[in-house]
A and B are shown apart, each in its own frame.
Chain A
Amino acid sequence: MNKAAMAIAVAASFAAVGAGAVELVRGDSSWSVANKHYKADFNPAKAGALIRLTYGKTVANVYGTSLSVGYDGQPRKFTGRGHSPPQTVSQLALANTTAEIVEESMERVSMKFSGFLPDGGFASITIACDDSPLIRYDVGLSWKKAVDNVQFSIQSASVKAEDAVFYPESRKFTAVWMNGERSRLPGWKYVSDGRCGFGLLMPDGTDWDMFNSVSRTSSKEARKGWGELCAIQLVRSCHYEASGSLKTSFAVVATKDVKAAFAAAARVLESAPDVQLCDIVPDKVFTKRGGSNGITTTLVNNSSERRMVRVKVELASGLDDVHPVSEETLTLASGEMRVYRKSWTVPKGVAWGVASRVKVYDANTGALLDERSDITNVADRGITASGVGLVNAGWPHKGQSAAWADALRRTYIGATEFYLWAPSTWDPSRKEGLAPQADEWTAFCAEKYGGDNSRLAKKEVKGFVDACHERGIHVYSWTTGLVNYQQALAHPEKFKYCRNGQLQIYSSKVYGQDRYAGAKLAPYTVADAVDWAEQMCDSIDMFGWDGCRWDWGWLPSAPNDPLFLAEMHLDPSAFEWFDWKGRSSTELFPDPDTTGTECFKAWRATVAKRHPGFVYSSNGSAAEDAFRLTPKYANESMRDGLHLVEYLLDIMKKYPTYSAWGKVLAEAAMRIRARGSQTEVGAMRGLNEGTFGADLARATCHASGAKWWCGPSDCRYWGNPHRTLPFAMRFSEYFWGLDFRLVPEAERDMRVSLRDGGRLFWRQFVYERVKDGVRELVVHVVNTKPDAYITVFQPKPKPVVNLVAKATPEKGERLVEAWGLVPGNEPKALRLMPSSDGSVALPRLEETASFVFRFAKRGIER
């Protein structure tokens, strides 16, 4: 068919569509289907890939809109490391594809594409169109080689960012590099700017699936337009099954009309109630006691009638203490979407994790129509009960500060480090140090950590801190003894030198004529420490930091990055440095423990004098060795703050199994907890987020009493932190409460037993405390064999049904209460009823859960 004939045919099809019909036009390179909502062009030579959507005069080219199968490239064996194997992802280009029209009528057009996958597996895709805005896909897949993931995405640059609104949340999209928002399944995601719209809908699925709405707007891609907007992951990443099959259905939402999209979605999604609550967004990740917080949600009336509803807002704290906030009656017109917002003040006595719930009832019948909740917490500091994360200096630029703060809030990060932002981390002249005089500067070493824009402005940095504060997020300035080398040229007496007299350079990435290699500072006198602390005070005044996170330590004998402490002990001479006159560090500092401690104390005291609430976060070893070799410094550096134990990332050689890692991590956390600090461990480098291996490692980390230090990009993945972190945050008192202590190893089996046949990991995680005369025994359970290796190949854990646990009361005690804590869309505390022998049963264990047993002395009523 020539172009003119095609144009006539398309015009005719739109005319016919007006009568509620659907029409197929078969061209040489595309098959076009048109109805009153859209004209869609499919490529029959590429397994029916959707290539174009046309709405009247608006033509939207869509990309990547076909099934994508990613294969894993490694054999199924333990490699001794958690690092991810190279993964190969191939767009589904079926070999010898057959394409056929299965049905062609006025009511329905159905096309079928089938063929072999690259691994010899088979795929069949049926695409059906009728007069609705939904293009339905029925997919059958079988594969023979380990599949990493199967996904379907839809991308387009045709939706204008400034006008784009995402539904069903009805929110403007805040685009952040490598970040996105999820909808739970069954669910849908849809974006429209009024001229063009598209989305995905999945009527089935479980929590383990992912239905993701993702935007990639790194500076490079932003120039090209919008990246991936919607993606649906049919098989979760890193499934790692050598063979398998999948049969599922989903739909592309193809309309520019928001109401039509809502109506179509409501018809298909059986779970969609007449009146629906879209996602709930808390104002803040954490609130101080007595402070205020709030939630925002959107109410949608999917029905064709006006509906009167009763909206109830309540908080849940502790294990299951419910605090009503408000209750009111609203009337919603048919199809109305109303943004609903409610503020609340922290009720007296509420602390740690809080679930804020919104429930909507039919005002006439009292029937519950929908409910939504999200987790926040009440604490004095962001590190107490929230997640801990990081943002690189180069990320929140060009007006994206608020979007990054939103991303942190969505991922429950209550304290974020802000990396490498300063022109120099030290400058006694106060020109370009932590409180730079210039309005703009080049961020010192920003590219070291992937910052894609090393040019920063004062108002942007302050804007990011303010945006975080508005969302209940603390910001910690990343601080280090690695200083812009130009400072070293100006102040040679303050730096470290190699044996051959060269100034010591840590990261010598140099570029252009602005050379920002990091020279190693040697500020090991109290006077220098005080001067540096004053520089930090000026910086706090300027930007409003809530704390700092040192990637450095004050011990003059230690390497600048305590990640390598173990190596220092093996060969101390490799770390010996020289001052500018050639004197060695061992000669200058014969007692590094005392020197480091005094400097450190002076720094803290100086900052505390001007900013009493400032939080000190440090990194280093919390192993027994640290307390033996440098006892004063170990005690001081772990006091009342946050301590990062990066050395515990060495899962390849030292801690290859969950039990080995959990043991050393829990014991380190106990040493840190005893000094009043929280513990964090770096995201497992190379252990891909989204894998079951990483999920279980994160659960192990929380069960050990530590936090999993991570970036907001992790929210792309369904598994974590969407489940594990909010679970730990909701019950943070039991994970991170400083008064819980590990039960001595020898006593654990006497205190508690689980009927698990030895296949669950829990023995390392038995804690107890006594509060208000009640002894609480807590057992965290991770659904993995204790001796399983921590790798990306960890299979999906099989749920355990009716997990029986029994805790033994001490003499004179009786069991008062037993609870099971379980993650989920809203983490829940289930009251467990003890049987006659005192045991309790948890109905279902997925990846992780906890038991809480409360004992009181006999004769005391609780």
Chain B
Amino acid sequence: MKSLVAVIVVLASVTAPAFTPTEWTRVVPNGGLRATFLTNGLEQVLSGRGKRKGGDGYTASNVPLYERGRLDFDAKIEPPENNRAMSHFMTLYGIRMFWHDACRDWRVIIPAPNAHRESGFADEPVRHYRIATFSPGEWHHCRVFFDAENDRVEFFLDDMTDPAYIAGGVSVWDQAEYEGGMLKIGGMGLSRGSTGTFANIKLTRENASVAGRKRTGTVVFEGLASDYYRVCDVLAAESPRRYLLDGTRYCYWSKNCYKYGKLPGHETLAGARRIVLADAPFQFDDVLPGFVIGDIVSAVEDGAVLVVLDGPFALDKGGYGDTAIARILPDGALRGTAFPEPATRPEILERKVGKGTVKVFRGLKFGADPADFRTRFAPWAAKLFK
């Protein structure tokens, strides 16, 4: 084991981990594993970046190696006043997470070459992404869902419905594939007295297949002209999950800059009965990560109904033609020019895809009055959402 260069003060005793074939649980009596990390005072020479004080240290436990599963734990981070450092880290297989005392957040490191380092962040790990704000001194429930086969990790914080962050293209197992599973909790050696408490740590295996599972619920992606449809009002009885488009920055050049404010996790899409795209732009890896588009296609092939509502940001104008969705759309759904077209009669195009169905409504044109259109849309909605 790597030498422990940081000073780790374990204030509560830790029981031996209990193993089962599908679950690993670490039970820590007296409230949890509590560790205070201090700067170790040793000088590290950092390649090309001078010297700094500090070094890392950790405590580790062997855990089963699951291809797909989830890690649940409760955590409380209590940074000292005036601390500007990264403090605690937790790694499971190749999933590296840490807590930032100064920024009061929880982050994940997705390794990248040093050349990708952002300027001005000389001491930060390369390619670290913010998962969510982590209120200091408060307990949070955390869940990390991982899928090694699909290189996917989803991070949930308190809200277990939608992930706070989804990482795609992640090497989940990394070296663990050869060395065996390991869960580490440690400190980066930069902190001066940050205390983290971790409790109810539980690693659970999940089955890959959702075959045979009853599909429930509706997921609605709302784009710019979704007000014309108000799908969530129409389907209010189903309590749909709503995902809204949001701007990422001010676009002064001839390009739109937006993305969805949050994204559904794998379970939401995999178990959805109906997925609605209401004038929802879908440019690949720009507005939406490619893997979410792939999840939608998989859900449809597995039995979900996809309803696509046309608008100035949907279908051909929404970038669908360059995504995996294009191959499941009914014939003719992407026809027409990219620019506004003269009004045509409303129509529904439909196609069976695997066990599911795709329905496309075309008929919203520029110039329509929203309230008037909603009235005219009602009978079409009945057909689309029956």
Per-position binary interface string of chain B over residues 12-33, scored 1 when its CB falls under 8 Å from any chain A CB and 0 otherwise: 0000000000000000000000
**Which residue, of B244, B252, B337, B338, has the highest number of chain A Cβ atoms within 10 A?**
B252
**Which residue of chain A lies nearest to B255 when distances are taken between CB atoms in the complex?**
A498
Cross-chain contact B254 with A492 (CB below 8 angstroms):
no
CA A46 to CA B328, docked complex, whole Å? 67
Note all chain B residues with C-beta closer than 8 A to A577. 254
CA A88 to CA B316, docked complex, whole Å? 50
B225 CB, min distance to chain A CBs, angstroms: 6
Cross-chain contact A578 with B312 (CB below 8 angstroms):
no
Q: A506-B251, A560-B252 are contacts. A73–B339 as well, Cβ < 8 Å?
A: no
Note all chain B residues with C-beta closer than 8 A to A510. 224, 244-247
**Which residue of chain B lies nearest to A565 when distances are taken between CB atoms in the complex?**
B252
Quick check: is A503 within 8 A (CB to CB) of the other chain?
yes
Note all chain A residues with C-beta closer than 8 A to B346. none
Cross-chain contact B254 with A574 (CB below 8 angstroms):
yes
- A88, A90, A505, A578: the one within 8 Å of B339 (CB): A578
Cross-chain contact B312 with A502 (CB below 8 angstroms):
yes
**Which residue of chain A lies nearest to B256 when distances are taken between CB atoms in the complex?**
A505
Note all chain B residues with C-beta closer than 8 A to A73. 84
Cross-chain contact B224 with A517 (CB below 8 angstroms):
yes
**Which residue, of B84, B313, B366, has the highest number of chain A Cβ atoms within 10 A?**
B366
A504 CB, min distance to chain B CBs, angstroms: 6
A696 CB, min distance to chain B CBs, angstroms: 25
Cross-chain contact A515 with B256 (CB below 8 angstroms):
no
Q: A498-B254, A506-B250 are contacts. A485–B81 as well, Cβ < 8 Å?
A: no
Quick check: is B102 within 8 A (CB to CB) of the other chain?
yes
* CB-CB contacts below 8 Å: A460-507 with B: 485-486, 488-492, 496-507
A543 CB, min distance to chain B CBs, angstroms: 27
Cross-chain contact B253 with A574 (CB below 8 angstroms):
yes
A474 CB, min distance to chain B CBs, angstroms: 28
Cross-chain contact B254 with A513 (CB below 8 angstroms):
no
A441 CB, min distance to chain B CBs, angstroms: 15
Quick check: is B124 within 8 A (CB to CB) of the other chain?
no
Quick check: is A705 within 8 A (CB to CB) of the other chain?
no
Quick check: is A559 within 8 A (CB to CB) of the other chain?
yes
Cross-chain contact B224 with A505 (CB below 8 angstroms):
yes
A236 CB, min distance to chain B CBs, angstroms: 21
CA A504 to CA B338, docked complex, whole Å? 13
Quick check: is B258 within 8 A (CB to CB) of the other chain?
yes
Note all chain B residues with C-beta closer than 8 A to A208. none
Cross-chain contact A88 with B252 (CB below 8 angstroms):
no
B351 CB, min distance to chain A CBs, angstroms: 24
Note all chain A residues with C-beta closer than 8 A to B318. 502
Note all chain B residues with C-beta closer than 8 A to A501. 316-317, 337-340
Cross-chain contact B340 with A580 (CB below 8 angstroms):
yes
Cross-chain contact B367 with A496 (CB below 8 angstroms):
no
**Which residue, of A489, A506, A560, has the highest number of chain B Cβ atoms within 10 A?**
A489
CA A109 to CA B14, docked complex, whole Å? 52
CA A73 to CA B312, docked complex, whole Å? 48
Q: A574-B253, A575-B253 are contacts. A491–B367 as well, Cβ < 8 Å?
A: yes
Note all chain A residues with C-beta closer than 8 A to B253. 559, 564, 567, 574-575
Note all chain B residues with C-beta closer than 8 A to A513. 226-227, 230
Bin chain A's interface residue count: 35 or more
CA A496 to CA B227, docked complex, whole Å? 21
A514 CB, min distance to chain B CBs, angstroms: 8
Per-position binary interface string of chain A over residues 74-99, scored 1 when its CB falls under 8 Å from any chain B CB and 0 otherwise: 00000000000010101001000000
- A88, A515, A582: the one within 8 Å of B224 (CB): A515
Q: A118-B82, A508-B258, A515-B224 are contacts. A489–B337 as well, Cβ < 8 Å?
A: no
B329 CB, min distance to chain A CBs, angstroms: 17
CA A563 to CA B250, docked complex, whole Å? 12
Note all chain A residues with C-beta closer than 8 A to B319. 500
- B84, B258, B338: the one within 8 Å of A505 (CB): B258
Per-position binary interface string of chain B over residues 292-336, scored 1 when its CB falls under 8 Å from any chain A CB and 0 otherwise: 000000000000000000001100111100000000000000000
Cross-chain contact A504 with B224 (CB below 8 angstroms):
no
Quick check: is A509 within 8 A (CB to CB) of the other chain?
yes
Cross-chain contact B256 with A489 (CB below 8 angstroms):
no
CA A491 to CA B84, docked complex, whole Å? 52
Quick check: is A593 within 8 A (CB to CB) of the other chain?
no
A486 CB, min distance to chain B CBs, angstroms: 7
Note all chain A residues with C-beta closer than 8 A to B339. 497, 501, 578, 580-582
- A93, A492, A564: the one within 8 Å of B252 (CB): A564
Per-position binary interface string of chain A over residues 548-580, scored 1 when its CB falls under 8 Å from any chain B CB and 0 otherwise: 000000000001110110010000001111101
Note all chain A residues with C-beta closer than 8 A to B226. 513, 515
**Which residue, of B224, B250, B254, B339, has the highest number of chain A Cβ atoms within 10 A?**
B254
Per-position binary interface string of chain A over residues 231-265, scored 1 when its CB falls under 8 Å from any chain B CB and 0 otherwise: 00000000000000000000000000000000000
- A503, A507, A564: the one within 8 Å of B312 (CB): A503
CA A490 to CA B366, docked complex, whole Å? 6
Cross-chain contact A490 with B252 (CB below 8 angstroms):
no
Quick check: is A426 within 8 A (CB to CB) of the other chain?
no
Quick check: is B11 within 8 A (CB to CB) of the other chain?
no
Quick check: is A198 within 8 A (CB to CB) of the other chain?
no
Quick check: is B112 within 8 A (CB to CB) of the other chain?
no
CA A486 to CA B225, docked complex, whole Å? 8
Note all chain A residues with C-beta closer than 8 A to B224. 485, 503, 505, 508, 510, 515, 517
Note all chain A residues with C-beta closer than 8 A to B369. 490
Quick check: is A71 within 8 A (CB to CB) of the other chain?
yes
CA A302 to CA B45, docked complex, whole Å? 67
B366 CB, min distance to chain A CBs, angstroms: 4
Cross-chain contact A561 with B227 (CB below 8 angstroms):
no
**Which residue of chain B lies nearest to A90 when distances are taken between CB atoms in the complex?**
B81
Quick check: is B370 within 8 A (CB to CB) of the other chain?
yes
B200 CB, min distance to chain A CBs, angstroms: 32
* CB-CB contacts below 8 Å: B247-267 with A: 247, 250-258
Note all chain B residues with C-beta closer than 8 A to A511. 244
Quick check: is B4 within 8 A (CB to CB) of the other chain?
no
Cross-chain contact A504 with B254 (CB below 8 angstroms):
yes
Cross-chain contact A498 with B82 (CB below 8 angstroms):
no
Cross-chain contact B230 with A505 (CB below 8 angstroms):
no
Cross-chain contact A118 with B81 (CB below 8 angstroms):
yes
A508 CB, min distance to chain B CBs, angstroms: 3
Cross-chain contact B338 with A93 (CB below 8 angstroms):
no
Note all chain A residues with C-beta closer than 8 A to B370. 486
Cross-chain contact A502 with B81 (CB below 8 angstroms):
no
Note all chain A residues with C-beta closer than 8 A to B338. 500-501, 582
A424 CB, min distance to chain B CBs, angstroms: 14
Cross-chain contact B312 with A88 (CB below 8 angstroms):
no
**Which residue of chain B lies nearest to A503 when distances are taken between CB atoms in the complex?**
B312
Note all chain B residues with C-beta closer than 8 A to A509. 246-247
Cross-chain contact B251 with A502 (CB below 8 angstroms):
no
Quick check: is B368 within 8 A (CB to CB) of the other chain?
yes
B159 CB, min distance to chain A CBs, angstroms: 19
Note all chain A residues with C-beta closer than 8 A to B163. none
Quick check: is B196 within 8 A (CB to CB) of the other chain?
no
**Which residue of chain A lies nearest to B192 when distances are taken between CB atoms in the complex?**
A118
CA A584 to CA B102, docked complex, whole Å? 48
Note all chain A residues with C-beta closer than 8 A to B257. 508
- A507, A575, A580: the one within 8 Å of B254 (CB): A575
Note all chain B residues with C-beta closer than 8 A to A575. 252-254
Quick check: is B64 within 8 A (CB to CB) of the other chain?
no
Note all chain A residues with C-beta closer than 8 A to B244. 510-511
Cross-chain contact B252 with A559 (CB below 8 angstroms):
yes
Using a CB–CB distance below 8 Å, which chain B residues touch chain A?
A: 81-82, 84, 102, 224-228, 230, 244-247, 250-258, 281, 312-313, 316-319, 337-340, 366-370
- With A501-B316, A576-B254 already in contact, 9 other A-B pairs whose C-beta atoms are closer than 8 Å: A93-B81, A486-B227, A501-B338, A501-B340, A502-B313, A507-B250, A508-B256, A559-B253, A561-B250
Q: Can you list the 8 inter-chain pairs with the closest CB atoms, starting with the nearest?
A: A501-B338, A508-B247, A492-B366, A559-B252, A574-B253, A492-B340, A582-B339, A501-B339
12 A-B pairs with C-beta separation under 8 A: A489-B228, A489-B367, A499-B254, A501-B339, A501-B340, A505-B258, A507-B251, A559-B253, A564-B252, A564-B253, A576-B254, A582-B339
